[in-house]
Amino acid sequence: MSISADSTTHESVAAENAVPEPTPEEAAQLEQLYQDFEAGNLIPLWTEIADLMPMVPSPKAVPYVWRWNDLYPLAARAGDLVPVGRGGERRAIALANPGLAGTPYATPTLWAAIQYLGAHETAPEHRHSQNAFRFVVEGEGVWTVVNGDPVAMRRGDFLLTPGWNFHGHHNDTDQPMAWIDGLDIPFVHYADAGFFEFGTERVTDEATPDVSRSERLWAHPGLRPLSGLQDTVNSPIAAYRWEHTDAPCANNCFSRTRATRPRCPRATPPCVTPTRPPAGTSCPPSAPNSTACGPALPPRPCAKSVPVSGRSSKDAAPWC
């Protein structure tokens, strides 16, 4: 018999393969069998398979959007009222999916939160078996110190804090800062694999370098250092910078398929930011190579004319 997952359930298959009703003697023996199962802390699969192995998933989490403009004011109020330090460890407010019955989880496998650190505050060091990432929505001025390596946190950056690495955060400015944390807390909780250890009250290195030691060693595309090559279970790069993502994405000729690419610019290409522009500056459309966005780049040569699907050969033109 063929079984179609979209129209069949465990119950319907069981009904199609129903066995005769047990005799009174067999029913008494079955009753005793189930009592003996219970006494021995045993549960038969045939009574639980529909819940343990459903035909299709039945997720409880629901789509939901948390707006930054709603989150930040609440986090700022917490910053005025709730201290950061030992006990709570972090001033972090979790995103609780309304479909997950009051648990502090954004999804069944992700704990996510907005974390707020006031001016000149320090979140003390600790470590745990849960892995973490941080995404900076706005602002700068906080350094996260991971195993003694200060890593700058700036708008658009994506930072990694692997499990069981000591880490703390310190704000070196007169302004507060907030960001989004994500940890695999639900997964570790379900696996009963949680460990936690306190570290120092202050971060172990209060330096504020623009580039962390891990980035100086590892964050050079196409190059591999000759030292520091010990085996690790995680990426040795602590931060993936927004400017490194934004620069190639800003050049549309490299971000689209050939059939949808724009024609190669005849003058200068769009502004590509090799380094983070000063705060408050932008690249105006009328001046694509504004010095605010970095030095002007020479025009790139176009490839030889090629026909493009959906275009006649007479319309063929140089494409990037």
Residue 236 has pLDDT above 90, yes or no: no
Query: What are the distances in angstroms from CA 206 to CA 116, 163, 180, 181, 311?
Result: 19, 22, 22, 21, 60
Would you state the pLDDT for residue 15?
A: 76
Proportion of the chain above pLDDT 70, given as a percent: 74
Would you state the pLDDT for residue 257?
A: 52
Enter the pTM of the model.
0.71
Would you state the pLDDT for residue 290?
A: 37
* Helix (H/G/I), strand (E/B), else coil: 217: helix
Name the residue type at position 237.
I
Tell me the residue range of the domain where 89 lies: 68-222+232-240
Would you state the pLDDT for residue 260?
A: 52
Q: Which helix (H) or strand (E) holds 59?
A: none
Residue 238 has pLDDT above 70, yes or no: yes
161 lies in some domain: yes
* Mean pLDDT across 225-237: 74
| Pairing, β 149-154 against β 122-128 | unpaired
Would you state the pLDDT for residue 308?
A: 34
Pick from 38-52, 92-106, 276-290: least confident: 276-290
Residue 276 has pLDDT above 80, yes or no: no
**Listed residue (68, 67, 161) closest to 123, CA to CA:** 161
Would you state the pLDDT for residue 228?
A: 61
Q: Higher-confidence residue: 288 or 54?
A: 54
Pick from 78-87, 99-108, 171-180: least confident: 78-87
180 lies in some domain: yes
268 lies in some domain: no
**Number of domains making up the chain:** 1
203 lies in some domain: yes
11 lies in some domain: no
313 lies in some domain: no
Q: pLDDT for 199-216, tens place per residue?
A: 999 999 999 999 999 898
Residue 112: pLDDT band with limits 50, 70, 90:
very high
Residue 52 has pLDDT above 80, yes or no: yes
32 lies in some domain: no
What the block records as the tokens of 44 is 């038969």
* Mean pLDDT (the chain, rounded): 80
Would you tell me how many other CB atoms lie within 10 Å of the CB of residue 13? 12
Would you tell me how many other CB atoms lie within 10 Å of the CB of residue 84? 22
Would you state the pLDDT for residue 94?
A: 98
Question: Can you count the helices (H) and strands (E) in the chain?
Answer: 8, 11
Residue in the block written with tokens 């941080």: 134
Q: Rounded CA gap, 182 and 59, in Å?
A: 20
Proportion of the chain above pLDDT 90, given as a percent: 57
Q: Higher-confidence residue: 310 or 146?
A: 146
Would you state the pLDDT for residue 295?
A: 42
Q: Provide the CATH number for the domain around residue 91.
A: 2.60.120.10
**Listed residue (217, 202, 137, 121) closest to 166, CA to CA:** 202
Residue 221 has pLDDT above 50, yes or no: yes
Pick from 113-127, 133-147, 257-271: least confident: 257-271
Q: Is 128 exposed, middle or buried (0-12, 13-18, 19+ CB in 10 A)?
A: buried
13 CB contacts (<8 Å, ≥6 apart)? 3
Q: What is the CB-side half-sphere exposure of residue 155 using CA atoms within 13 A?
A: 8
39 lies in some domain: no
Residue 304 has pLDDT above 90, yes or no: no
